[in-house]
Structures are given as structure tokens and as C-alpha cells.
Structure 1
């Protein structure tokens, strides 16, 4: 008698929106920010190609950051911007000063 077919799938580290959003914030700290704008291409290419995440995981994390009011999409569609800057000069969600 044979065993039923079992498929082994590796756990996806960014399958939860909170985890994906946290990684995207880490990436955001490394991006060049020009007039408050972070290029979407640099952000998603790091997450998808370097971290080997999926487009769906990227979308989950991005949408969580937008829903939480941390980032917003620039009107041109090619950049993200911090939604608000805290009075202490920290970037929302990072605990890091803007100049860091």
C-alpha cells in the first residue's frame, strides 16, 4: 500500500501582510529619497528579486502600509511618499530620523 501524495511547500516568509510591510519599511530606509519621494521600482525590485518574495506578498505589504497611513502613492504613480512626518522628525513606522 502506498502513501498518498504529499506536496511539500516551503513557508513563505512574507505571506503575512505585517511581515511584508515590516520588510518594506526596512527597504525604505535604504532608498534614496528625492524631494520626499521613494521610487517604486527600487522598492519592489529589492523585495521581489533580492528577497525572492512574490508580487502578491509585495502587494499585501504595500497595501498594509497605505491602509495604516504610513505611505501614500505619489500622484504620478511612480513613487511612494511618507504620509506624515512625526513632530520628532522620525519617519512614520521606522523610528528613524529623516536624516539617517
Structure 2
């Protein structure tokens, strides 16, 4: 029997917190916009999360009012930094 490693971002709230943490480290461009690839790439490739975990994390962060996702899906805005803890 093979064992798989525990995935830290299977919980959508944990994924959302990490995405907000990543977004907080990025210098926004025009109008507070953070291009989605700036948080997508480190989350997927550096942290080795899955696309499903990314999607669930974004949805959770939007539902909680931490991020605003543009309807085009190309950028987010960080809405609240201090209210996440």
C-alpha cells in the first residue's frame, strides 16, 4: 500500500489564506489590480497545489470578502489584509 503525502491546501480556507498571503506580497498595478498569474504560478508550481485547490481557494477568498475577482478572471483585488487572522 502506498501512502500519499498530506496536501496542505485541500481545505479551501487554508488555500484562501495562502492566496491572500501571496497577493499581499505583490505590488498591485493600476487600480489595485493583481494579475491572477502572479498568485497562480507560485501557488501551483512553488507550493505544488492543484488547480482544483486554487479554484476552491479563490472562491473561498471571494466569498469571505478577502479578494475581489474580476469577471474576466484576469485579476484580483485584495480587499482586506488585517481581517483575515
Report TM bin, short chain: 0.7 to 0.9
- Unaligned runs of 5+ residues in structure 2 are none
Q: Which 10-residue stretch deviates more, 67-76 or 24-33?
A: 67-76
- The alignment yields a C-alpha RMSD, in angstroms, of 1.6
Which of 38, 42, 56 is 1:42 aligned to?
38
Check the 8 A contact 2:20/2:78 in 1, yes or no: no
Whose helix fraction is larger, Structure 1's or Structure 2's? 2
Q: 5 Å matches for 1:44-83? A: 44-83=40-79
Provide the TM-score with structure 1 as the length reference: 0.73
Provide the TM-score with structure 2 as the length reference: 0.85
Q: Which structure: larger Rg?
A: 1
- Unaligned runs of 5+ residues in structure 1 are 1-5, 84-91
